Structure formats: C-alpha cells, structure tokens
Amino acid sequence: MPRDIPVGNGDLLITFDRLYRVRDIYYPHVGQYNHTDGYVQRFGVWVDGKFAWIEDAGWKRSMAYEEDTLVTRVVLRHDTLGLEITCSDAVDFHEPAYFRRCVVRDLLGKDRDVRLFMHWDLSIKGSPVGDTANYDPATASLVVYKDDTYFLFNACDENKCGIDNWAIGTKRVRGAEGTWRDAEDGQLGRNAISQGSVDCTVGYNLQVPARGSAHVTCWMAAGHSHSEVKQLNQRILEVGADRMISRTAAYWKLWARKDLPGLEKLPARVADLFVRSQLVLRTQIDNQGAIIAANDSDITQFGGDHYSYCWPRDGALVAYSLILSGQSELSRQFFRFCARALNGNPYFLHKYNPSGELASSWHPWMIEGQRVLPIQQDETSLVLWALRKHFESFRDVEFIKSLYQPLVVKPADWILAYRDINGLPKQSWDLWEERRGIHLFTVATTIGALRAAAAFASEFGEMDRAQRYREGADRMVAAMRRHLWHPEQKRFCRMATPQPNGSYRLDMTADSANYAIFAFAGLPITDPMVASEMAESQKRLTVRTGVGGYARYERDYYHQIERDRVEQVPGNPWAICSLWRAQYVIAKATSFEELEEARGLLEWCSYRAEESGVLAEQFHPHTGEPISVSPLTWSHATYVMVVVEYLSKLAQLEAGERNAQSHAADLVTDNAEA
C-alpha cells in the first residue's frame, strides 16, 4: 500500500498508509532504522458501546497537508458513529518528536463519551527481540526501549497532561495478537511492564458536548536514553504540544520556496505541487546528508529489500533540484556525505545506508571467473556533474576546496583510466540496475562529468589536467556518435556489448533514459541525432491509454501490468520518464505553442499525485493508481527541475516577444519620422 503524508525533520520520519495508519518510524536517520518493521500502528475510536479501527469501511477520509507545510490535515468522518475527527500530524522541525492533535466533533446532537486509542507495535531497530515497554509514573507516560533507542508516549487534553489509560503486553508470541484487541471493549488493563516482543495501546477519554468538540494532543518523543526522552518530554510540556505544532507549520512555510518568478502563471495545482514536492523531498533527506530514494517498507514484500538507501545517482539528481530551489545547505551536506561514503575510492559502489556504510547489493564482484567492478558508473559521474552545478550556482570556493580531490580529481582520473580502446567507458551496470554493458546514459553522464572536472581543474589552475579531461570528453562524444548510433534505424542504442572482434553488439530497445544525450552529454538540442532519437522515443514509449504518460523502456517487466498490448502499453508510465520528455520539449521550444506539451506533462503529474501531493514511482496504465514505492524522491525532484526549467524558458520567450515588439515599434517610429 503506497505511503502518504510523510512528516519528518531529517532525524525522525513518520509515514502513513492510505488508511491513515502509521506504518514506518525511522530514527535516528531518515531510512535507518525502521522501528515498526512495517507492521501496522492502529488508531481506533470507541463511542456509545461501538468501536471502529481506522481501517473500518465506515470511515470517509481526506488526507492532505496544511497549505505549504509539513503538518497534515486529515479529516475522518464516520456517520454510523456520528463523529468527525480532524487530525494534525507533525514532526517538530527541530526536536525528534512526533505529534498528533485530534479534534473530535459530535454529529448526532447529543453529549458523547468518546475514547480514542493509539496502538504502538514497535520492533526497535527492526526486531522485537529484547524490547521493553513500561509505564513511567514519574512522567505519567509509556516508555518503549531497547539498547540506545527510546520512545516515550504522552499526551495532554483540555483538562490534564499524562496518560492514565493504557495496556502493555506481548504480540505474535504464543498466540497473542497484541494489546490492540484490549481496546475494542473500550477498556485497557494498565499492565505496568512487559519485555520481549511487546506492544502497547494508549487510550484518551474525551467528553464531547452535543454538536460541540473536544481535543487531545498526543506525542512520541525519541532519544538515545531514558533521561534524554524525559528531558524532551519536559520541554514539550513547558512549550506546549500545540504550540510546537504551530511553530513547525510556520517553519515549513518559511522554508519552502514559493517566490519563483512566473510561478503564478502556472495552473494552481501545478504550482501547488511544486511547493509540495520541495517539502516531500525534505522528508526523505537525512540531516547528515544522505538523500534516500524512498521510505516505503511494503516494497520489501516484492523483492526482499527496500528503497531506504542512498543511491549516489538519485541523490545527485535530487541535489540538483535542491540547487535549483536555492537549498544550498542541503546540497552541501549531500556532497559531504558522498565524500565520506567514497572512503578513499575513486568511484561509488552500488548504494549506501543513511549512516554512510555500504548497503546491500546484487552486483557481483566476479563474472565467469573474472574480477569486475560492481558499479553503476553513472553514479560516480552524476555526483561530479551535480557538484559543478552547485558551484556554478553558489560559488562557495571554501566548500569546494576540501572536495576537489575526493569528488573531482580522483573520480575524473579514474574515469579516464576506466575506458576501452575507443574511448568509451568500460562495462558497468545500468541506471535501472538490470544489465551490464556500455550504456548510452552512462556515456552521456560521464561526458558531463569530464566537462565538469575540466572546468574545476581550469579554475584551480591545473591547465594540463583540464586539457586531459576535455580531450577525454571530446573523444567520448565522437565514440558515442560513431559506435552507439544505428544509422539504419536513425537512433541511438541503449546499450552496447563489446564483442571479441572489437566491435559492439547494440541493444536497440527504446529507453527513456537516452534523453541524457542532451541533458548531460551536451549534444546541441538542434542536433539531428538528438531530434531523431527523441522522436523515436516518443513514438515507442508513449502509453496510449486514458492514463497516458511515458514508459521507462519497451516491454518493461518491473511491476508490469499489460503483457498483451505492449504496442499500446510498452510499460507502466513513470513520473520521471514523462518529465524527461518535458525537459526535451522545454529545451527545444522556440515558441509558446511548442512549450504547451511540457505544460501538459506538468499537469499530468499533478493529476497523478495523491490528494496530499505525493508522487509515486510509477502508475497503473489503465487506472492511474500508484504502483511501487510512494513517495519516490526522484519523482518529486524531477518535477521541481522541470517547473524551474519551464518557467526559465517561458521567461526567455516572453523577453524575446517583448524585444520583437519593441523592435517593431521602433521601425514604425523610424518610418513615421522618415
């Protein structure tokens, strides 16, 4: 089930499913560790002897955010129970504390005894073994802990602070379902402590007047020791939980960039998604620099692993979107993270944990008895390319100084060494992580990296080094045109496989990633090769259903829905691939009419997003429902890039029109004077 309305602050991340159940709790890093192990954290209501968990079919839900914030606005209505509950969820912008404020309103015109229940099924650091849950009378709170990870649960209603209604017990052991079952009769047992595979349920009693409302604000404070969470709990009591929610809303309104020139010229939903994408991006970025691909534990059921890692490629492209939106400190932190992750190597390995250690991988170190590098070379190239974009925007020489050797010189020197006889990169894995060879996307990004390195080397006074990098890039461009272009089909391959006779076997599967020839390799947008490649890509990868959009590549098997009519549906539509098409349209547009296709693709994304503004990785080609992980950080980053590029091109065209009008007016004046 796709995740929705994530809230976080770079240390603590909370995700929800579409039924408004908390599903993932990440701390102390975004993406590491998941203290729920993907299990459901339940929320239920008892009133007038009736009980309903939030997944009950009687609930009507609206799940969104307060405008331009990372504070949710969730409206829950249950006509049978005669209640409406408005919830505001937030992670404090500064402290590792999660809040939920619940306002309960009566719909039946009578006084009500309402009891809210929140069930916490934690598996600290991904395992329930060795967990402890206990009631702490000193703070009137529940504390669940293991080793150096502590969670304290507390609340304040209109009359008092502290918890006096709770249950602590065991789960999934000897037939025990968990303490959530205790809540269904409206009463909890108040057991003082339990250890091992434990859970807890907290109840809040509210007296709701006829046609009126009552509220409670509960919270979860995270820390590394009992004293730490107790101190944080005390700060919350002193400041006030509701005030901390309000200050968090104010902070995110200040943080998100809304002053982009021309933004008001876009449809409201397109502009709103631009702001929302920035905020969703931030929830997926760890404060120590790692940019996480996605945090959705349900995907583990598909492949036995998750997306809660930092791929340097994804991170570099997200960093570029941060650069475009002016978030320089976040992009700096990412590049610092990259320098640490390299650990002295000149190239990146597959992916990294949020804490910086090497993560799981399926890329082998040996093939057919021969040692190979288990890498995706485009990851190394794109980090160097993005670093140059950062420097061109912010000119922070002192920052770049310490990264020049590890992120520029060593990778660029290695790139020159890791080439075949024709000057193309040697074989590595592709950006889709499915096949090994010489990929057009990798070649294009590596050309961009060498040009970036040449610019850096020149500015640092190393002219000989700069010349080598430029020559390497130029030779690679020539080799790309000669060896990766199919003259009969008039398009590029997506991959070349070296043959024993020195030639290449070309894989001519149309792939949306080939947009890289103009986006990174710098081929002119007017180049006939670029025009022909992109025309064929549009022809072959358009999803011809009512949903629309663009597929990754022909006959894409990943989460494949349509297996019969592959000419109409070459694959599921992806947000990033559809937006890559928009980037090409923007780059080549010379009129307002030519720009309209890109505007349409931005609108397409806005309609594919959830009510909250969250974008998934891909979508069902017939229903438009989200598929795979959601939100995908890369989807939101690419959307931000395209909005900025669209408005930049729009401004250029408007300036050109004004100049033409001014010139025409001058000619009229000159003729009149003559």
Mean pLDDT on 2-8: 93
Percent residues over pLDDT 90 in the chain: 94
Mean pLDDT on 510-523: 97
In 321-455, the DSSP E strands lie at 366-367, 370-371, 428-429, 436-439
Rg from Cα positions in the chain: 27
Residue 304 has a pLDDT of: 79
CA–CA distance, 290 with 348 (Å, rounded to integer)? 14
Q: Which residues pair with 491 in a beta bridge?
A: 486
Residue 174 has a pLDDT of: 86
Q: Inform me whether the pLDDT recorded for 303 exceeds 90.
A: no
Mean pLDDT on 211-224: 98
**Residue 139 in domain:** yes
Residue 76 has a pLDDT of: 98
Model confidence pLDDT, tens digit, residues 442-468: 999 999 999 999 999 999 999 999 999
CA–CA distance, 290 with 330 (Å, rounded to integer)? 10
**Residue 270 in domain:** no
Q: Inform me whether the pLDDT recorded for 666 exceeds 90.
A: no
Q: Inform me whether the pLDDT recorded for 404 exceeds 90.
A: yes
**Residue 109 in domain:** yes
According to the 3-state scheme, what is the secondary structure of 365-397?
CEECCEECCCCCHHHHHHHHHHHHHHHHHHCCH
Boundaries of domain holding 78:
40-255
Mean pLDDT on 117-142: 97
Residue 672 has a pLDDT of: 74
**Residue 187 in domain:** yes
pLDDT confidence of 302, banded at 50, 70, 90?
low
Residue 436 has a pLDDT of: 98
Q: Inform me whether the pLDDT recorded for 509 exceeds 80.
A: yes
Mean pLDDT on 235-254: 98
Model confidence pLDDT, tens digit, residues 552-592: 999 999 999 999 999 999 999 999 999 999 999 999 999 99
At 502, phi and psi to the nearest 5?
95, -5
Q: Inform me whether the pLDDT recorded for 182 exceeds 80.
A: yes
Residue 257 has a pLDDT of: 87
CA–CA distance, 527 with 441 (Å, rounded to integer)? 17
11 and 638 Cβ atoms separated by less than 8 Å: no
Per the structure block, which two tokens stand in for 660?
Answer: 């033409």
Neighbouring C-beta atoms of residue 609, cutoff 10 Å: 24
Residue 167 gets which letter from DSSP? E
Preceding amide of 639 cis, omega within 30: no
Q: Inform me whether the pLDDT recorded for 338 exceeds 80.
A: yes
At 456, phi and psi to the nearest 5?
-60, -50
**Residue 413 in domain:** no
pLDDT confidence of 301, banded at 50, 70, 90?
low
Q: Give the CATH number, domain containing residue 124.
A: 2.70.98.10
Residue 84 gets which letter from DSSP? E
Q: How far is CA 503 from CA 211, 292, 473, in A?
A: 79, 39, 21
Q: How far is CA 79 from CA 52, 104, 161, 310, 638, in A?
A: 12, 13, 30, 44, 41
Q: For residue 511, give the 3-state DSSP assignment.
A: strand
Model confidence pLDDT, tens digit, residues 626-649: 999 999 999 999 999 999 999 999
Global pTM reads: 0.96
Q: Which residues pair with 307 in a beta bridge?
A: none
Mean pLDDT on 403-430: 98
105 and 82 Cβ atoms separated by less than 8 Å: no
Q: Which one-letter amino acid corresponds to residue 232?
A: L
**Residue 386 in domain:** no
**Residue 657 in domain:** no
Percent residues over pLDDT 70 in the chain: 99
Q: Inform me whether the pLDDT recorded for 596 exceeds 80.
A: yes
CA–CA distance, 236 with 240 (Å, rounded to integer)? 5
The domain tally of the chain equals 1
How high does pLDDT run on average in the chain?
96
**Residue 170 in domain:** yes
